[in-house]
Amino acid sequence: MRSGKRIVFDFAFLSFHVFKWVLGLFLGISAYRASPGAFWVFIFLFLGMYILQDLYRVFKAIIKDTTIDSLDSQGEYSYVKGFNPKDLTSIKIQALCFLTFFIIGVVGITNNVNQWRDDGQNRFGNIAISSFFVAAPVIVLVGQARKRY
| Whether residue 88 sits in one domain with residue 70 | no
- Domains in the chain: how many in total? 3
> What pLDDT is stored for residue 68 in this prediction?
75
Distance from C-alpha of 105 to C-alpha of 136, rounded to nearest angstrom = 9
Distance from C-alpha of 127 to C-alpha of 144, rounded to nearest angstrom = 26
Instruction: Give, in degrees to the nearest 5, the angle at Cα 56 between 54 and 57.
Output: 65
| Whether residue 131 sits in one domain with residue 92 | yes
pLDDT tens column, 105-148: 999 999 999 999 999 888 899 999 999 988 988 888 888 888 86
Instruction: Give, in degrees to the nearest 5, the angle at Cα 111 between 107 and 117.
Output: 150
| Whether residue 97 sits in one domain with residue 77 | no
| Whether residue 137 sits in one domain with residue 94 | yes
pTM check: above 0.85: no
| Whether residue 112 sits in one domain with residue 93 | yes
- For residue 10, the enclosing domain spans 1-34
Q: Which of 34-38, 85-89, 131-135 has the lowest mean pLDDT?
A: 85-89
